[in-house]
Structure 1
Amino acid sequence: MAQWRWRRFGHYGAQGAPGGEALGIAMERMVSGISSPVDSDRGLAARLRYLTASDAGYEAMDRAGVHVRPRQLMAWLAEEVKPRKDNLARLDAAYWDLRRRNVAADLKRRLHNGGRGTRVEINPVNENRVDRKHQRGDGLRRRLSTRDVNVRDLDLWDRAVDAWMDDDLGELDDVWQQICQDYLGTDWEAYAYVDSIGWDA
């Protein structure tokens, strides 16, 4: 885990998240899917269609612990029998696992942007509840500002996406530290914690 966080963050009321965590949240926001809950007829049917449309879907079900005979699966697909509650939860987990994996492959390509990298908007921590004398900034206590940087290091994007897929917060922290050091100049440590991160990928 990167050892560069602000000491006693939040002690004076600042609101935000570690940069690596915010980076993962930004990637997670790109995963869209079925809004109907898995225990609804529509939500279950859509998930089953998606999962049974490819070998990757069957692999996702296997990883999630969905182990049923083909006859049982066909009964689910035909809506003759509804899965038990535990299998519903596993099917939902399998569905979102597959969605994330499919998004990850596309996300690397989009973040690479043909070798041009991606512009990142970094919103600093929210210090509205912090007394002015305790707010971060330079010697004049200047408020932190939103920063826009174009991250062109494609290896960093690959590492970030892989870490997000592996739920490796330590690696996401390390990637974020490198982005800050490479693109934010001398005040990079002020962005160890952020309110949010976004991009146009």
Structure 2
Amino acid sequence: MAGRWMDLGMFNAHGVPGADALGAAIENMVTGIASTVDTDRGLAARLRYLTKTDAGYEAMDRAGIHVSPRTLMAWLAEERTPNRANRSRLDAAYWDLRRRNVATDLKHRLNNEGRGTRVEINPVDQSGVERRHQRDVASRSISVRGVWDRAVDAWLEEDLAELDSVWDQIIEDIGSEYDAYSNVSSIGWAA
């Protein structure tokens, strides 16, 4: 794990581990139904999405939705409404399936036919750190290639150790000051 800043907040610096920022940035690329599961429209859209394919039924199973076919049909026909716990599980199943369905597209977009993606890395916020304790680091913009399949797979599996390994590989390209970017305030890209 990169990051010899073991006591990041000791001098009032604020940031997150790069792996966390990487996972959050990938997560922000996933879009879906805007209506909440508590609205009729949001619930109906999630049910339609989940019942279109076998993968949707598998996602519902992973989320712990175990109802009879008759109950499921009543939900689809809007004759009955799932209880709060099942609505929450339906929402979790929807986002799980959505993430799995867009993973391939994310890899394609981020790899950009081998050209990679330009990533803006913003270092930790040192505005609250006394000047004598501040590190002299600035935002960096680097082209990242060859790691996106691993990054998306790690994000999908919620494998923070692998995301951390990918982040280490990304910041090694920065050069000798790479360790200053093991924790960041944010990262972003346009893909």
Which of the five TM-score ranges fits, normalised by the shorter chain?
over 0.9
Q: Please report the TM-score for the alignment, with normalisation by the length of structure 1.
A: 0.91
User: Quick check: 1:180 aligned with 2:167?
Assistant: no
The equivalent residue for 2:62 is 63
User: Quick check: 1:116 aligned with 2:115?
Assistant: yes
User: Quick check: 1:199 aligned with 2:181?
Assistant: no
Secondary structure of 1:197 counterpart:
strand
CA distance, structure 1, for counterparts of residue 35 and residue 109 of structure 2: 28
Opposite residue 157 of structure 1, the aligned amino acid is W
1:32-83: CA deviation from partner (whole Å, max 9, x where unpaired) = 1222221221111111011111221111111111112221111101100011
Opposite residue 76 of structure 1, the aligned amino acid is W
The equivalent residue for 2:6 is 7
1:152-173: CA deviation from partner (whole Å, max 9, x where unpaired) = 22xx211111111111111111
User: In angstroms, what is the RMSD of aligned CA positions?
Assistant: 1.2
The equivalent residue for 1:141 is none
Query: Unaligned regions of 5+ residues in structure 2, if any?
Result: none
CA distance, structure 2, for counterparts of residue 161 and residue 99 of structure 1: 14
Q: Does the 8 Å CA contact 2:49/2:94 hold for their aligned counterparts?
A: yes
Opposite residue 94 of structure 2, the aligned amino acid is Y
1:122-141: CA deviation from partner (whole Å, max 9, x where unpaired) = 1111111111111112xxxx
1:1-201 equivalences in 2 (<5 Å) = 2=1, 4-137=3-136, 144-153=137-146, 156-181=147-172, 183-201=173-191
Q: Residue 22 of structure 1: CA displacement?
A: 0.5
Query: Unaligned regions of 5+ residues in structure 1, if any?
Result: 138-143
Secondary structure of 2:121 counterpart:
strand
Opposite residue 103 of structure 1, the aligned amino acid is V
Identity value in percent: 64
Q: Does the 8 Å CA contact 1:30/1:103 hold for their aligned counterparts?
A: no
CA distance, structure 2, for counterparts of residue 5 and residue 19 of structure 1: 13
Q: Please report the TM-score for the alignment, with normalisation by the length of structure 2.
A: 0.96
The equivalent residue for 1:140 is none
Secondary structure of 2:78 counterpart:
coil
Q: Residue 174 of structure 1: CA displacement?
A: 1.1
CA distance, structure 2, for counterparts of residue 39 and residue 152 of structure 1: 41
